[in-house]
Amino acid sequence: MCHQTVSLVARHLEANGIATVILGAARDVVEQCGVPRFVFTDFPLGNPCGKPWDAAMQREIVRIGLELLESARRPRTTVQTPFVWSEDNSWRDNYMRIDSDKLDELRALGEERRLARERAKAEGRLRGWTGSEVYTPRTGAGGGRAS
């Protein structure tokens, strides 16, 4: 979910007496929104609670969040987790990178998706449509959609 949306919802909940902690990877966005408590993981977006399938790391990050909920003594408290995604931070070089030799393919896929959305909208089936006509469950731990 969008870091800004979660942060604004947290502020609304806080204003109405419900304490919150944000677990996130977009420090600049969350801190700009001014949330009271924030656990920052310096990981690729979409992974605020740790690496996939690393239950021990995920539990520790959630524990840090719960501890912050209990212990924060001032507003806008940010705690950074001690974890790293990779020892050499090479993920930063590749995260969301688009190779120039893939541009035409990506443009074609984007156009195909745009046309499919237009068809779905014209047929009245756009609501809740994600762009994929087929649901394929992922096998293994965790379940969910295949990517």
pLDDT band at residue 142 using 50, 70 and 90 as cut-offs: very low
Tell me what pLDDT residue 130 has.
55
* Cβ atoms within 10 Å, residue 9: 16
Residues 6+ away with beta carbon under 8 Å from 53: 141, 142
**Secondary structure class of 90 (helix, strand, coil):** coil
* Pure H helices in the chain: 3-15, 27-33, 55-71, 91-94, 103-122
Average pLDDT over residues 9-33: 91
Q: How confident is the model at residue 75 (pLDDT cuts 50, 70, 90)?
A: confident
The predicted model gives 108-131 an average pLDDT of 79
Q: How confident is the model at residue 143 (pLDDT cuts 50, 70, 90)?
A: very low
pLDDT band at 123 (very low <50, low <70, confident <90, very high): confident
Average pLDDT score over the chain: 82
**Cα 89 from Cα 23, distance rounded (Å):** 20
Of 1-5, 21-25, 41-45, 106-110, the one with minimum mean pLDDT is 1-5
- The pLDDT assigned to 103 comes to 85
